[in-house]
Structure 1
Amino acid sequence: MINILEYSDITFPEDFLWGATTAGQQIEGNNNSFYDDKEIAPKFAYGGVPYQMAGRACNSYEMYKEDIALLKKMHLNSYRMSLEWSRIEPVEGQFDEKEIEHYRDVLKELKKNNIKVCLTLHHNSHPVWFHQLGAFKTMDNLDYFLRYVEKVVPEFDEYVECWLIINEMNIVFEYTIEESINLLQYHAKAYHVIKKYSNKPVSSPMNYAEKKPMRGVTDKPDQIMADYIDYMENEFFLHAIRTGEIVVPFHDAVYMPELKDTCDFWAVNVYTRQLINSRKAMFRFDRYEASSIHSLDVPYFSDDICPEVVFHCLNRLKDKPVLITENGIACKNDKYRVIYIAAVLQAVKQAIDSGVKVLGYLHWSLLDNWEWGTYTPTFGLASVNHETYERTLKPSGYFYGEIVENNALTLDIIKKYYSNNI
C-alpha cells in the first residue's frame, strides 16, 4: 500500500483550478435521453450487471443549489457540468426555452458563488430522436448537432470559463472506430461554431488509460498489442488534433485542416492503467492482484491505485496546457479515496515541476451518482440518500476541501484524515 504518511509537503500554483465534475445524465434525474428509454437503453451496465435506469438519479435538477453549497463547503473554485441536449431539444427542431432558462439559473447561481464553470455540451447522452437517426454513426447528422451548439453557446457564454464539446470520443470500446473518426469531425466543426460566439478556451476531454503489456516489455505479443491499443485509443486522437489528419489502421486517412489545433488546451479524464493480455479476446481486463485493493464488492476498473499513470499522462501532453477534467476512485471505504487523492496530487505536482502546465484538477465525482446503468460504484466526495436525496460530505470531501483551502497538501492535513486502520 502507498504510504502517504511519508509524503513531503507540496504547494500548487496560485491560479490553480480546484474543482469537481458531474454529468447531467448521471445526477439530474428524468432526463429522457436514450439512456432513459426502455426500448433503446443498453441491456447491461459495466461489468455485465443488468442495466438499472437512472430514474431521479441524485435529483440534482431540483437540488442544484445543494450541490453548489457542497462546492462552496469544500472551497472549490471550479465546476465541470454538462448541458442535457435531451432537455433542451426533446423533439427534433423544437428548443425548450423553459429548460434553457433552468440552465441559466444554475449557471447564474454558480457565478454568484464565484465558481468557474467548464461546460460540457455532450457528456455521453443525447435525445432519443438523435439516437434513432444513428447519432454519431453517420456524418449525415452533423447539422443537427451544430444547430444545438449554435443555440446554446450564445445563450450561456457569459457564464462559462471554458467549453468542452464531446466527452471521451476516443474510447473505441464505447464507440466504434468509425464513430470516433466521425466524432473528431463533429468536434472540429463545433469548435469553429463556438469561436463565432465566444473567446473562451475550447477542448474535448479525452479518456486516457495507460496501456501496459501484461507480462512486461520483453513479451513481444503483449507489447505489440499494448502499442496498437494505445495508438487506437490515445495517439490517433492526439495526432489528429495536432496535425489535422485522422490516421487509423485499415481505414483511409481523413485530412481535415480545420481540425488542427481545435483543442486550446488538453482536457483529460485519467483514472488508471489497462493491462493488455494478448492471449485473451477480452484483452484489457486483467489486473495485478498484488496491487488491486478490491474497493467495491465487485471488481471495478478503478481498483488499482497507480498515480504514476497521471504523471506519465501529463508529460505526454506538454505541448499545451492541461486540465484534468476527471479523476477519482469508486470505493466503499472512504479512506481509500483519501489515499487516492493524496497520491494523485503528488503525481500532479511532480508533473508541474517537470514542466507541464497543469491548469487544474477536477475530481470525479461530486456525488455518488448513477454510473451508466448502476448505482454500485460510488465515486462521490459526498454520499446521496437515494430516498431522501440528502447529501452528506464524506471525510474525503473534507480532506479535499482542506487541501483546496490551503492550496497545499501537507503532512498535517494527511494525518488529520488518515489512519492505518483500513
Structure 2
Amino acid sequence: MLDIFQYPKIKFPKDFLWGASTAGAQIEGNNCSYHDDKELASKFAFGGIPYEFPKMACNSYELYEEDIKLLKAMNLTLYRMSIEWCRLEPEKGTFNQEAVKHYLTVLSRLKEEGINVCLTLHHVSHPVWFHKKGAFGTLDNMKDWEEFLEYIVPKVAQYVDFWIVLNELNLPFEYSISERLNMIQYHARGYHIIKQYSSKPISSAHSYSEKQPKRGYNDKLDKLMAEYIDYTENEFFFHAIRTGEITAPFMDMKYVPEVKGTCDYWALNTYVRHMIDGRKEEFRSDCYTATKFKPIETPFFTEEICPDIMIQMLMRMKDKPILITENGIATNDDRYRIVYIAAMMQALHQAMEMGADVLGYSHWSLMDNWEWGSYNPTFGLASVNRETFERTLKTSGKFYGELCKNNGYDQSILRKHLNELPSIINFK
C-alpha cells in the first residue's frame, strides 16, 4: 500500500518547470484530421468501447483563454501543446491563414502570461490527404513533411522554448515497426529544419513503459520476450539517436548519419509498466492482482500506481537532460490522482538525487479530453462540461497547483486536499 502521508518533504531546483500537457486533436474540436473522417477513423476505442468522434472536444480552439486561466490558476510555468497540421494545411499546398493567425495568437498569449511553451509539431493526427498517401508508412512523403515544417517553423519559432517533432513514434498500437523506423528519419529531418530557425532544444516525445517479465527475470521465455519488446518499442529509438543506426530484429541495419544526435534532451511520456507473458500470443498481460485497482469503470491501462517506473526510466535515460512531457492516470475518483501525483513526484525527486537531470514535469492532462475514440477515460486536472465546455479545476488540480507554487511537496499541502487514503487495492 502506498502511504503518501509518510512521504518526506521535498524541494525541486529553483528553475524546475511545472506544466500540463494537451494535444490539439484531443481538445480543439472540429479538427478535420483523419480521426474525424468516418471512412478513415478507427471503429473501436480502447476496451471495445464504440468509437466516438471528437466533434467539439473541449472547444479549445475557441476557448483557449479559458485553458490559459487554468494554467495560471495552478501556477504553471510550462504548457505542452500541439499545432494541428490538418488545420494549417487542409489541402496539400494550401495553407489556412486564419489557422496560422490563431496559433500565433495562442502562443503570444502564453508568452505574455510568462508560460514556457513546449510545442509539438505532430501529435498523432495529420491531414486526410497525407493519410491517404500512406503518411509515415513510406519515406516517399518526406517532401510533404519538409514543406509543412519549412512553412510553419519560422513563423512560430520566436515563441517556442522546447520543441517536440513527433509524439510517441514508438507506439505499437499506432505504428508498425516499419513505420516506426521511417519516423526516425522524419524526426531527424524535422530536427535539422528546426535548427535553421531556432536555438531552443529539440526532441521527439517517447512513450516509455518498463517491460517486466511476468514470472520474473529467471524465467527465460518471459525475459527474452520482455527484452525483445523493449528493443522494438524503446531501445530502437534510443539506439538510433545515439549512434545513427536504424535497427530492428529480422531487418538489415541502416546507417543514417543525419539521425545521430538529433535529440537535445529526452522527452519522456510514462504511465505504466508492461507485464510480458511469453506464454501468450497477447504477451502484454494484466498487472498483478495484488497491485491492481479499478480507477475507472472501463479499463484504460492505468490500473496500477507503480512509481518505481519513473525511477527506472530516469536512471536509464540520464545521459541527456530530461523533460517529463506526459504522466498521469485515468480515474473517476480524483483522490487517486492525488496519490498518483504525490507518488510520481517523490520518485522523480529521488531519481534526481541519484543523478537524473530533469528539467521539468508536465502532467497529462490539463483537462478531461477526447482520448482517441472515447471521452470515458478522464485524465484531467480540470473537468469539462460536455455541453457548455465550462472548465472546473478538480481537487487534484488544486493540489498540483500548490506543489508548483511551493516548488515541492510537504504534508501540509497534502492534508489540505486529502484527508485519508482511498482504497487502491481491488481484487474483483
- Relative to the length of structure 2, the TM-score reads 0.98
**What is the CA-CA distance between 1:340 and the residue it aligns to?**
0.3
Q: Which residue in the other structure is 2:402 paired with?
A: 402
2:17 matches 1:31: no
Q: Residues 90 and 127 of structure 1 are in contact (CA less than 8 Å); yes or no, is this contact kept in structure 2?
A: yes
**What is the CA-CA distance between 1:414 and the residue it aligns to?**
1.1
Distance (whole Å) between structure 1 residues aligned to residue 419 and residue 242 of structure 2: 45
Q: Which residue in the other structure is 1:141 paired with?
A: 141
Distance (whole Å) between structure 1 residues aligned to residue 315 and residue 191 of structure 2: 25
Task: Tell me whether 65-74 or 41-50 shows the greater mean CA deviation.
Answer: 41-50
Q: Which residue in the other structure is 1:128 paired with?
A: 128
Distance (whole Å) between structure 1 residues aligned to residue 209 and residue 341 of structure 2: 17
Q: Which amino acid aligns with 2:18?
A: W
What 5-or-longer segments of structure 2 have no aligned partner?
423-428
Q: Residues 82 and 121 of structure 2 are in contact (CA less than 8 Å); yes or no, is this contact kept in structure 1?
A: yes
Q: Residues 328 and 364 of structure 2 are in contact (CA less than 8 Å); yes or no, is this contact kept in structure 1?
A: yes
Aligned 1:13-412 pairs, distance under 5 A: 13-412=13-412
**What is the CA-CA distance between 1:278 and the residue it aligns to?**
1.1
Q: Which residue in the other structure is 1:12 paired with?
A: 12
**What is the CA-CA distance between 1:84 and the residue it aligns to?**
0.4
- SS of equivalent to 1:197: coil
What 5-or-longer segments of structure 1 have no aligned partner?
none
Q: Residues 277 and 286 of structure 1 are in contact (CA less than 8 Å); yes or no, is this contact kept in structure 2?
A: no
Distance (whole Å) between structure 2 residues aligned to residue 285 and residue 80 of structure 1: 31
**What is the CA-CA distance between 1:421 and the residue it aligns to?**
5.7
Q: Which residue in the other structure is 2:426 paired with?
A: none
**What is the CA-CA distance between 1:46 and the residue it aligns to?**
1.6
Aligned 1:411-422 pairs, distance under 5 A: 411-420=411-420, 422=422
Task: Tell me whether 82-91 or 38-47 shows the greater mean CA deviation.
Answer: 38-47
Over the matched positions of the two proteins, sequence identity in percent amounts to: 57
Distance (whole Å) between structure 2 residues aligned to residue 369 and residue 300 of structure 1: 14
Distance (whole Å) between structure 2 residues aligned to residue 420 and residue 122 of structure 1: 41
Deviations 1:108-140 (A, max 9, x none): 110110000000000000000000000000000
Task: Tell me whether 39-48 or 381-390 shows the greater mean CA deviation.
Answer: 39-48
Distance (whole Å) between structure 1 residues aligned to residue 152 and residue 381 of structure 2: 30
Root mean square deviation, CA, Å: 0.8
Q: Which amino acid aligns with 2:133?
A: L
Distance (whole Å) between structure 2 residues aligned to residue 421 and residue 137 of structure 1: 47
**What is the CA-CA distance between 1:198 and the residue it aligns to?**
0.9
- Relative to the length of structure 1, the TM-score reads 0.99
**What is the CA-CA distance between 1:384 and the residue it aligns to?**
0.3
Q: Which amino acid aligns with 1:238?
A: F
Distance (whole Å) between structure 2 residues aligned to residue 174 and residue 87 of structure 1: 21
